[in-house]
Amino acid sequence: MTPKETTMRPVNTASLIKHLLVGTAIALAVISFFVFGVDEPNPAWPALWRVRPLIITPLAGAAGGACFYFIDHLLNQNGRRKALAVILGILVFIIGLWMGIVLGLDGTMWD
């Protein structure tokens, strides 16, 4: 018997950064829709209530983009495994983005 050889592919830094930036841009666009759509904020909210969601949500989007990259990187095959990796990556990104929105808007718009 021959031992099964496994090789770890190196991380492509440029592709990882691209995924991080795309995740950040998507999250920033989504949270901006909610934050800048408020004409008259509740007086009980802090004065700088917009800062928290505009920082936390893009960070969650970047983390989701990184997860998408690593899932795609680990399951980098053809056919069904590629489709599974894309679907799983999108699902993880959406869940991460939702959690970022909830954390960012907690105490203001998310009560």
d(CA 63, CA 33): 20
Residue of 62, 63, 61, 31 whose CA lies nearest to 49: 31
DSSP states along 55-83: HHHHHHHHHHHHHHHHHHHHT--STHHHH
Q: Taking a C-beta distance cutoff of 8 angstroms, is the pair 94, 71 a contact? A: no
pLDDT per position as a tens digit, 10-58? 888 999 999 999 999 999 999 999 999 988 888 888 888 999 999 999 9
Per-residue model confidence (pLDDT) at position 17 = 96
Q: Within 10 A of 111 (CB to CB), how many other CB atoms are there?
A: 9
Distance between first and last Cα of the chain: 61
Q: What is the pLDDT of residue 3?
A: 54
Report, as an integer, the average pLDDT of 77-102.
89
Residue with tokens 């954390």: 103
pTM summary value: 0.84
In this predicted structure, what is the pLDDT of residue 72? Answer: 83
* Residue 110 confidence class, pLDDT cut points 50, 70, 90: confident
Domain extents for the chain? Answer: 49-111
Mean pLDDT, residues 63-88 taken together: 85
